Structure 1
Amino acid sequence: MTEPLLSTRARSLAAVGQASSWAIADEGLRRVAAGEDILLLTLGDPVCPPHPAIVAATKAGLDAGRTHYTPLHGEPALRAAIARSEGCAADEVMVMPGAQHAGLAVLTLIVGEGDEVILSDPFYATYPGVVAATGASAVRVAARADLSTDVDAIEAAITPRTRCLFLNSPANPSGTALSVQDYQRLSRLCEQHNLWLVVDEVYAHFRFDGQDVRAWQHGPAGRTVSLNSLSKSHAMTGYRVGWAVAPGRLIAALGDWSAAALFGVSQFIQDAAVTALSLPESELAPYRQAFRARAQQVVARANALQGLTATMPAGGMFVMLDCRGVEPDDQRFARRLLDEAKVGVVPGSGFGEGGRGHVRISLTPEAETLDLAFDRIAAFIARD
């Protein structure tokens, strides 16, 4: 019997090979589950629990029976809390189950078949899949040598089919960030070519350079979308709560999307999110500042090893190590680290051509774990 076919969209998703980006990380997780002594420096999933007030609010919401349908755009209290955090109006906020889904929803509503979406390469590994799911084509534009977004190269890549620039600041995996000057130039390009600017800002609270440059304040008016969530900023990855800040006409369309795809985010999760956003910075600063310290630690340890180089990122949860002085093939280097040094890292080529010759180190493990991992990496390099 002939089986029914999958859609062209499904085949497009398979073609971008998202799963292969995480193959070594997944292998490391399997080995840890089997009892092997592997130190994982792979995923951006904070090891610490959420703040106790967030956990208490989650439980209180469940105890209060807050388990019903919600307004499609989000609970008013949460939209107001996000608006205060983002410097926008509450009616410019759409609550979604994570920034990943918010990105998919936004792109589905602004691009489609035959359109082009520009990505800065290296990019977060899921972005090509998000673009493929919309039916549009991803145009990968090489970043500068330091892996930062090259606005000149973006301008040269714009065609009559371009509809959107999809960027990340601070960026995963590179740790680079867009400047005010970058936004000024990107704004001119978007206005000149009638483009949307979509910026994933999930690492906005992790800036190591003292800057706080946001898309909503510096991007082109009426055509900027900011994506964010509490996954990283408040160690709430499993809560799956995020948002899009966007112009009113797109917010209205996102309400239609929610009616078709989600029918809202759980009440008790939104209650916990309100509590998270109400926490004073003093309560969150130790958690966030620890990432800066661990970034400095990783950069120092890497640069002390022959053949490895790293620079301090502008922000985020990762450091990119240039491994070409040890092994030009980042996939092979990561595989050998896993097999021989018992350290799991993510090959940079999984994030595009711009990441080739690098591996990504997560800053989520504790400092002691990072030191032990680099002791193992040092021993591996010494005997290689």
Structure 2
Amino acid sequence: MMEGSRAELSSRVRETGPPIMQVMKSLKAPRDTIDLSQGVPFFGPPEDAVKDAMKDIRSLHGYGPDAGDEELREIILKKVRSRNMIRAGSLDNIMVTAGANMGFLNAVSAISDPGDEIILLDPFYFNHGMTLDILGVGHIHSRPAKDGEVDIDSVDEAINSRTRAIVMVSPGNPTGAVMKKGSMEALLELCLENGLWLISDETYEDFHYEGQHVSPASMGDELPVISLFSLSKSYGIPGWRQGYMVFPRWMFDQLLKVQDTTIICPSRVGQRLALYLIRDHPDHARNHMGALRENRKEVMDWLKRNEDLVEAPRPDGAFYAFPSFTGGAFERIRSMDIARNILEEARVLLVPGSPFGVNTPPALRISYGNAGKDRLREALERMDEWLEGSPLS
């Protein structure tokens, strides 16, 4: 029998941390644990759209165009022009992706080389950090600012000769904060002055509790903006992996190379469902905002009654809150240890703040979109009891 040494793995992959959702789901949860960890809404897609997509499935076995089926891209083009006010001129501004995460991978692969750097605004979406680590692209972090604002001086200080882009997520994951238009304009100015890209993750565009969504790409013509969109949250279909990206059309051929070497083309049946959803049910998420508003109020009330121990950015969008433990003796405890303790003693599963780049003070992400109001209230009451009994309070 042949013997040999074990072949090596990429150091970039080995040194990248594990997916935090897999870590949290692997923990031994007590019976009757309430799961507020996963960023998914409580609702699913309209049944008629699913039935229509299933009727078409027998004709969708073959490869499709790398950039996505033309009929779907036409629908997306109309949508981003009318709802996002993005001045996209043709189908060459649009590419269908397997969710917004793939759009981010496509974008970073097309605009950067190993050793380059991209600026993430803290707290950042953890999959963005993982993607950069695996691609060998450095990430520099700006200082957090208050509700919807950006510390522009901090971003400016982070720019150097290796910087290729600034990434923004609004409404935010993990905070639910909505970036103010003035901050978007300031980021765009920095990009234009320094020859950088602005990557705008707009996964939660349909989840606003105050005001309307603003896409930074709508602020001019052919701006250096790559906009990422997802159907996972707006239609409750994360398992279908459907999203799209919008970009200056001169990028199209280069992005096509990246797409062809990953999935070749997005799922054909998934695209058919996406077509029916965007075309026939444009307000699906908005129709569920009443229930989400009630859930948000429960979380806001919880933050208020525990304000001596926690503080959080105002969650004006998405369905997250991101409380930092600023009172008591919590500052010396890791967020992962706090999350484990709450799981074991309060039977509530949350996500620690460390994968989002936040270590001190420790923070936790609460996802209030995936539970009914009564179940959410019970989870928050359990957390009240845990805080009252904790020696750290």
Q: TM-score, normalised by structure 1?
A: 0.91
Residue 149 of structure 1 corresponds to which residue in structure 2? 150
What SS class does the counterpart of residue 278 from structure 2 fall into? helix
- 8 Å Cα contact 1:16/1:128 also seen in 2: no
Relative to 1, partners in 2 of residues 1:107 and 1:4: Cα closer, same or farther, differing over 3 Å? same
- 8 Å Cα contact 2:326/2:361 also seen in 1: no
Task: Say whether residues 1:366 and 2:364 are aligned partners.
Answer: no
Residue 341 of structure 1 corresponds to which residue in structure 2? 346
Between 109-118 and 286-295, report the one with greater CA deviation: 286-295
CA distance in 2, matches of 1:198, 1:285: 25
Instruction: For 1:95-114, list aligned pairs within 5 A.
Output: 95-114=96-115
- 8 Å Cα contact 1:183/1:219 also seen in 2: no
Task: Say whether residues 1:3 and 2:6 are aligned partners.
Answer: yes
- 8 Å Cα contact 1:187/1:219 also seen in 2: no
- 8 Å Cα contact 2:175/2:313 also seen in 1: no
- 8 Å Cα contact 1:116/1:164 also seen in 2: yes
Letter in 2 for 1:45: V
Between 283-292 and 221-230, report the one with greater CA deviation: 283-292
What fraction of aligned residue pairs are identical, expressed as a percent? 27
Residue 31 of structure 1 corresponds to which residue in structure 2? 29
RMSD of the alignment, in Å? 2.1
Between 231-240 and 217-226, report the one with greater CA deviation: 217-226
Task: Say whether residues 1:43 and 2:46 are aligned partners.
Answer: no
What SS class does the counterpart of residue 295 from structure 1 fall into? helix
Q: Post-superposition shift, 1:252?
A: 1.6
What SS class does the counterpart of residue 5 from structure 2 fall into? coil
- 8 Å Cα contact 1:319/1:360 also seen in 2: yes
1:84 aligned to 71, 74, 78, which one?
78
What SS class does the counterpart of residue 39 from structure 2 fall into? coil
- 8 Å Cα contact 2:119/2:167 also seen in 1: yes
What SS class does the counterpart of residue 129 from structure 2 fall into? helix
In structure 2, stretches of 5+ residues that fail to align are: 82-87
Between 158-167 and 43-52, report the one with greater CA deviation: 43-52
Letter in 1 for 2:7: P
CA distance in 1, matches of 2:214, 2:139: 26
Letter in 1 for 2:51: A
What SS class does the counterpart of residue 206 from structure 2 fall into? coil
Task: Say whether residues 1:263 and 2:276 are aligned partners.
Answer: no
CA distance in 2, matches of 1:271, 1:95: 12
Task: Map Cα deviations across residues 238-275 of structure 1 (whole Å, 9 max, x no partner).
Answer: 00011110111222212122222211012211110011
Relative to 1, partners in 2 of residues 1:209 and 1:194: Cα closer, same or farther, differing over 3 Å? same
Residue 57 of structure 1 corresponds to which residue in structure 2? 52
What SS class does the counterpart of residue 243 from structure 1 fall into? strand
Task: Say whether residues 1:164 and 2:170 are aligned partners.
Answer: no
- 8 Å Cα contact 1:44/1:362 also seen in 2: yes
Residue 85 of structure 2 corresponds to which residue in structure 1? none
Task: Map Cα deviations across residues 94-151 of structure 1 (whole Å, 9 max, x no partner).
Answer: 0111110110111011001221100011101111111123222111222115574322
Residue 84 of structure 2 corresponds to which residue in structure 1? none
Relative to 1, partners in 2 of residues 1:377 and 1:219: Cα closer, same or farther, differing over 3 Å? farther
- 8 Å Cα contact 2:29/2:343 also seen in 1: no
Residue 203 of structure 1 corresponds to which residue in structure 2? 204
Task: Map Cα deviations across residues 54-89 of structure 1 (whole Å, 9 max, x no partner).
Answer: 321231122x43222111111111111111221234
Letter in 2 for 1:61: D
> How many positions carry a matched residue from both structures?
375
What SS class does the counterpart of residue 233 from structure 1 fall into? coil
CA distance in 1, matches of 2:21, 2:347: 17
Between 318-327 and 37-46, report the one with greater CA deviation: 318-327
CA distance in 2, matches of 1:354, 1:148: 21
Residue 323 of structure 1 corresponds to which residue in structure 2? 325
Q: TM-score, normalised by structure 2?
A: 0.89
What SS class does the counterpart of residue 140 from structure 1 fall into? strand
- 8 Å Cα contact 2:206/2:286 also seen in 1: no
Between 95-104 and 128-137, report the one with greater CA deviation: 128-137
Q: Post-superposition shift, 1:91?
A: 2.2
Letter in 2 for 1:203: Y
Relative to 1, partners in 2 of residues 1:83 and 1:182: Cα closer, same or farther, differing over 3 Å? same
CA distance in 2, matches of 1:136, 1:281: 36
- 8 Å Cα contact 2:234/2:284 also seen in 1: no
What SS class does the counterpart of residue 101 from structure 2 fall into? helix
- 8 Å Cα contact 2:217/2:223 also seen in 1: no
Q: Post-superposition shift, 1:41?
A: 0.6
Q: Post-superposition shift, 1:311?
A: 4.9
- 8 Å Cα contact 2:21/2:38 also seen in 1: no
